Structure 1
Amino acid sequence: MKDLLMEIVNYGQDLGAEFVEAREQDSDATVFHIEDGRVESIKQGIESGFAIRVLARGSWGFATVNAQSELREATENAVKMAIITSRRIREPVNLSESEVVEDRVILKPDINPKDIHIEEKLKLFSRLNDYVLNYDKIIRSCTIDYADITGKKWYVNSEGTVIEQDVLYVWSRIFATARKGEVFASNREELGSTKGFGFLKETSAETIGERLAERLIKQIKAKTPKGGSFPVVLGSDVTGTFAHEAFGHLAEADLTISGSVLAKKLGTRIASPLVTIYDDGTIERGFGSFKYDDEGVKSQKTVLLKDGYVVGLMYDREHSAKMQKLENLMVPTEMIAQFNAKPTGNARAEDFRSPPLIRMRNTYIIPRDYNFEELLEDINFGYYLVSFRGGQANLDGTFQVGIQEAYEVVNGELGEPVRNVSISGNTLETLRQVDAVGKDFELRSGRCGKGQVAYVSDGGPPIRVRNLIVGGAD
């Protein structure tokens, strides 16, 4: 495969491209969907394909094919595309420098999902589905999605980088609903690992099902929250969602340069000095961890926010080069020496059909020194928000997040559960309102959509926010 991809890279250069990269992917996947005890769909199969991306006359061209016999034609099409689009671009694309690498990355799964027969996988998750549905009569539905992907991918470029890298993902999402009278509740669990099937062997279906079902029952019995601005403690799950959705996307350099609220804040203090945020592609057991991204750049631990100051962004090679030109305009003079605009290993493609985009990996707030009781003790009345249901964030920094499990905090103690809670506000103002950060740390696995799907983790410790807008409705 190496020789074939190098041949295609050389062919692209012969056609006039200044830069050429070729990716090849082989994957073996099992995907199924279970709904209310019925297996609705199963897909198993092996897939392979190629991606060719070229830079010619300052513009990108991209083509993707399944067959080796079509590679030369695909390369020709990519070069033609780049030349045609180069006539309309305002600013030619440049790439920042990247280390030339030749490497083979081998993964050793705890339990290879390929070694688990499909019948055993279906049996495990069907048992989970049945357990949730039978836990209490108020639980009305349960759906489960499962996927495992194993294989390898190659990356070769015209600068001399050659990487062969194993791929391994095991993922599942469980979603259940309950109703009692006019009260409706929903809850979700998302599980993922890059180590293999072992984590599903370690945790029983009954344990996962009970956790999900008990949340639903609590929410059905819960009352609606008071609306207004209150002190809140965000659980690790919500902390991670906030770090990812409300802040992380703002720090993806393509979105920053396009006008996110961080564009005018680089190098400045925007948050409490207690807040430090990393996007880390190296953390053990992170669902977004890998050694090299889809531009052949080594993954790393990237600090985005340090003691409240914006000190970094997430880059691919193109936007790293753009930012290096813009640094003097966008970063305060006294901070330029501390601001690093080199590629960070955040260029990720969903598969061979897609060109790489800047994507998060494992995004989290680092822990400090408060225990959970200390986070609660200064709150006369507020809320403890345990896990999120979904939400959205905008480039202007505004956000709204739904919460699927929450409790009142009264006189420093946990109180009654509340349901259908939402929080909203401005990311920068919320970060400034953080006045205590816990010592316990958790990561959760999930998926992120940005035109393409990427496997990620987010998390952190519980944190206390002095004032946050809380709302809710039946």
Structure 2
Amino acid sequence: MKGKMLKTMAMLKEKGVEYADVRINDIVTESISTENMKTQMMYTGRTKGYGIRVFLDGSMGFAASQDFDDMDAIANEALRIAKASKIAQIAPVKLAKKDTVVDNYLTHVEIDPFTVSKKDKLDLLFAAEKAMREAVPELFKTVGNMDFRKEEKWFMDSDGSDIRQGLYESGSGIEAIAGGKGDIKKRKFPNSFRGNFATAGFEFGQTMGVG
């Protein structure tokens, strides 16, 4: 992939752009929910794509795609849009100087959540539900959920910057519902809105006592 990105940047510079950059995003998400000791939802999704931005003669053009086979074609589309934008240009964009940065960052995780089997995740949620029911037999509904996200970002520009990021987000939560005498009470732990979340791995849920 790096070779394709470098090739595209070189091609754009040959065509006279003042500046160009490409951003790649690859996002994987997983959501698992249980309710009354049964699997309620199990979802895994992935989105991947990239965008190319160019500045030519003081006008900007941008194009994006999920097709990585011909990155040059998308770059040329961004170039075409920049040329078309010049028609309505009032004043050319002047870019500020910036440093060239080459770096990478990865969220520190003790346990990559995407290496833990779905069965193990469900077992932990069922165990949490069972503990709630044993503590309060009057409960008529218990819920458990886990959510995970991994996002890989890659930025490269015509000035020589090359930055990569690997970001993990993990969270989980449980809910107990009881009713009687015409009233219903709900309690959630450790927070509302499906629990608490952090830039961490699977271990984060364990530190909260969920799972």
TM-score when scaled to structure 1? 0.37
1:197 aligns with 2:202: yes
Match of 2:111 in 1: 111
- Structure 1 distance, partners of 2:210, 2:202, is 14
Match of 2:97 in 1: 97
Q: How many residues align?
A: 205
Q: How large is the Cα RMSD of the aligned pairs?
A: 3.5
- After superposition, residues 258-407 of structure 1 pair within 5 angstroms as none
Q: Percent identity?
A: 21
Change (3 A) 1:125 1:185: closer
Match of 2:44 in 1: 44
Contact 1:15 1:76 survives alignment (8 Å) = no
- Structure 2 distance, partners of 1:86, 1:138, is 66
Contact 1:149 1:168 survives alignment (8 Å) = yes
Contact 1:132 1:142 survives alignment (8 Å) = no
Compute the displacement of 1:73 (Å): 1.6
- Structure 1 distance, partners of 2:59, 2:38, is 49
Which letter maps to 1:192? F
Compute the displacement of 1:54 (Å): 2.3
Change (3 A) 1:56 1:116: same
Compute the displacement of 1:101 (Å): 0.9
Match of 1:443 in 2: none
Compute the displacement of 1:113 (Å): 1.7
Match of 2:163 in 1: 163
Specify every segment of 5 or more residues in structure 2 that has no aligned partner in the other structure, as ranges.
none
Secondary structure in structure 1 of the residue aligned to 2:69: helix
- After superposition, residues 139-154 of structure 1 pair within 5 angstroms as 140=141, 142=143, 144=145, 146-150=146-150, 152-154=152-154
Secondary structure in structure 1 of the residue aligned to 2:171: strand
Contact 2:172 2:205 survives alignment (8 Å) = no
Match of 1:418 in 2: none
TM-score when scaled to structure 2? 0.73
- After superposition, residues 133-144 of structure 1 pair within 5 angstroms as 135=136, 137=138, 140=141, 142=143, 144=145
- Structure 2 distance, partners of 1:171, 1:43, is 15
Contact 2:139 2:176 survives alignment (8 Å) = no
- Structure 2 distance, partners of 1:201, 1:143, is 14
Change (3 A) 1:38 1:7: same
Match of 1:269 in 2: none
Compute the displacement of 1:108 (Å): 4.3
- Structure 2 distance, partners of 1:126, 1:54, is 51
Change (3 A) 1:128 1:81: farther
Change (3 A) 1:10 1:34: farther
Change (3 A) 1:85 1:117: same
Change (3 A) 1:72 1:130: farther
Contact 2:175 2:186 survives alignment (8 Å) = no
Which letter maps to 2:24? E
Compute the displacement of 1:147 (Å): 2.8
Relative to its length, the structure with more strand (as a share) is: 2
Compute the displacement of 1:22 (Å): 1.0
Secondary structure in structure 1 of the residue aligned to 2:70: helix
Higher RCO (C-alpha 8 Å, min separation 6): 2
Compute the displacement of 1:21 (Å): 0.9
- Structure 2 distance, partners of 1:156, 1:173, is 38
Specify every segment of 5 or more residues in structure 1 that has no aligned partner in the other structure, as ranges.
207-474
